[in-house]
Amino acid sequence: MGSESYNEGRQFTLVVGSDSLIGKALMAHLNRAGSRVLGTTRRYEQVDDIHLYLDLAKNVNDWQCPFPVKVAVVCAGVTNLDMCRHNPIASASTNVEGLSALVKNLVNSGAFVIYLSTNQVFDGTVPYRKTDDPLSPITEYGRQKAEAELRISAFADSVAIVRLTKVLGPNHMLFSAWAGAMQKGEAIQPFADMVIAPIPLSCVVSVIRLLADRRLSGIFHVSGERDISYAEAAFLGAELLGADSCLIQPVNASQSGHYTEVVPAHTTLNIDSLRFALGIEPPDVRWTVKMAYMKPSTLVGIDKMLFYTRF
């Protein structure tokens, strides 16, 4: 074995934000595959040999990974829309400043970086946005993700940007709450005018792993094939659970008083780059929603217990 490939074998995959939904699943998969993997956390009590302390709002400029990093997958960030809207400066210090400083450090030390972005870099007026469509965010969260994309795209061949639509994992609070309510005969009020194009967490993990293995740079979209409204997802749940569909009382998000952002008409993304580069595409959205109700562990593609085990 040449010294270069020997050194390569001793390098780590770094999961920045290993407490996140996606980071946790990725850590579990990589560990199970026998890869050398490290995570980062901002929770002091979680720091150990493989979970390094990193707060994107605080210590990024001084931060160096103590071990050589082959690929870094950035999952950390302020992902709550309300939090970004109410605290635009504090959230941007994490989502834009900290994030771009970290990516620069990692690229300068030779790592390939995969950055997870979102359909919310677009305004939602047009379905199936292409990877090279101009960005048009309308929320503070979307604006911060778009700005981060812009900054890190300067690192060209050293970065991949993966835009995701709604990711469903093994424990989707909303669908399990609806299922519980419907099984007790209680009414639910899903949004009729709010849509998602859901993708399974397992699919996201697979895409990240393939891009990491091949160090494929560029922009990639991972999206369900169509939008489904929350109301349609609720009716599907009632059908699957054998509940009375009269329990479903759709309301409009825009009139509910519970949602203050503009409600996008579309969330889908064009996935041609994913098909051409990796030859894969996510399962159809009704399957993904069905699994969220009936067999959520399928959405992570590993044993649910393993998902909750901390590596």
**Smallest distance from ligand NAP to CB 57, Å:** 4
Residue among 164, 208, 212, 233 that touches ligand NAP (CB under 6 A):
164
Report if residue 83 touches ligand NAP, rule: CB under 6 A.
Answer: no
The binder of ligand NAP chosen from 11, 31, 42, 218 (CB under 6 A): 42
Torsional class of 218: left (φ above 0), alpha (ψ -120 to 50), beta (otherwise) = left
Strand order in the sheet with 37-41: 51-53, 37-41, 12-16, 69-74, 112-118, 159-164, 218-222
Binding of ligand NAP by 20 (CB under 6 A): yes
CA pair distance 148, 140, nearest whole angstrom: 12
The count of residues interacting with ligand NAP (CB under 6 A) is 23
Q: How far is the CB of 99 from ligand NAP (least distance, A)?
A: 9
C-alpha closest to that of 36 among 64, 69, 74:
69
Q: What minimum distance in Å lies between the beta carbon of 227 and ligand NAP?
A: 14
Cα 198 to chain centroid distance, Å, stands at 11
Please state the closest distance from residue 59 (CB atom) to ligand NAP, in A: 9
Alpha-carbon distance of 41 to 199, in angstroms, equals 25
CB of residue 3 to ligand NAP, shortest distance in Å:
35
Asked if 280 contacts 206 with a C-beta cutoff of 8 angstroms, the reply is: yes
E strand intervals along 154-281: 159-164, 167-168, 195-196, 199-200, 218-222, 228-229
Does position 140 interact with ligand NAP (CB under 6 A)? The reply is no
Nearer to ligand NAP, 167 or 248 (CB): 167
Binding residue for ligand NAP (CB under 6 A) from 166, 209, 221, 266?
Answer: 166
56 binds ligand NAP (CB under 6 A): yes
Tally: H helices and E strands in the chain: 13, 11
Q: Which stretch binds ligand NAP (CB under 6 A): 15-23, 256-264, 281-289, 292-300?
A: 15-23
C-alpha distances out from residue 210 to 20, 107, 136, 173, Å: 20, 19, 28, 29
Our CB check for ligand NAP shows the closer of 17 and 237 to be 17
Q: Which is nearer to ligand NAP, 161 or 236 (CB)?
A: 161
**Residue 142: what residue type?**
G
Q: Is 77 in the site for ligand NAP (CB under 6 A)?
A: yes
Contacting residues toward ligand NAP, per CB under 6 A: 17, 19-23, 42-43, 54-57, 75-79, 94, 116, 118, 164, 166-167
